[in-house]
Amino acid sequence: MDKLRPDVDKEPKNSVDIIDANPKGWSGVHTALVEACRLFGEGGSAALPQKAIQAVEFAHSRGFESSDDDKRTRFTHIPSVMAWQDAMYAMNELRNWRFPDELVCVAWLIECGGLSMGRGPARKKTKYEDGVKKYIGGTRRLYNRGEHGNGPGWPQSTVWNPSDCQHFR
């Protein structure tokens, strides 16, 4: 049993099981991230939180709804930031995901919130956008070592470049 996440053994650990647990929620995240890729492709100087907000608005316009429970992630309704982060690392190994870390950060902002987003389980804690390498990269290192409360059975997480992501093409 893990001290950080006592129920981690019950969590889905691979992308197929993660999607099966909440297909609409993960589709909402993916829809928002594809829109964020488009926004990155347009250039401009909008900061990551502004891109996240625009991506959420786009997902809403496509029928995806944000959770009413501010203690859960936006589209996937996961109650633990750590559990959602680990699921995101597993999802990001799928060929039609493979988002670079700046986009993974946008996903964290969309789902977990933070100070700049004003909602979500991390709303009072973090400004992920101020430390992409620290938050995304540092958490990935813990995750890949099984020290993020995740333990064995999770896939390794890869650092992807924009050229690896089909949505940047």
| pLDDT value for 45 | 67
Q: Specify the residue for token string 């893990």.
A: 2
Report how far Cα 48 is from the mean position of its chain's Cα atoms: 13
Single-letter code of the amino acid located at 154: W
Residues 28, 76: Cα–Cα separation, whole Å: 8
Percent of the chain at pLDDT > 90 equals 71
pTM of the model: 0.93
Residue 157 has pLDDT above 70, yes or no: yes
For the stretch 113-149, pLDDT in tens is 888 888 888 777 778 888 899 999 999 999 999 999 8
> How do the domains of the chain map onto residue ranges?
12-168
The dihedral sign for the CA sequence 22, 25, 29, 30: positive
For the stretch 72-83, pLDDT in tens is 999 999 988 999
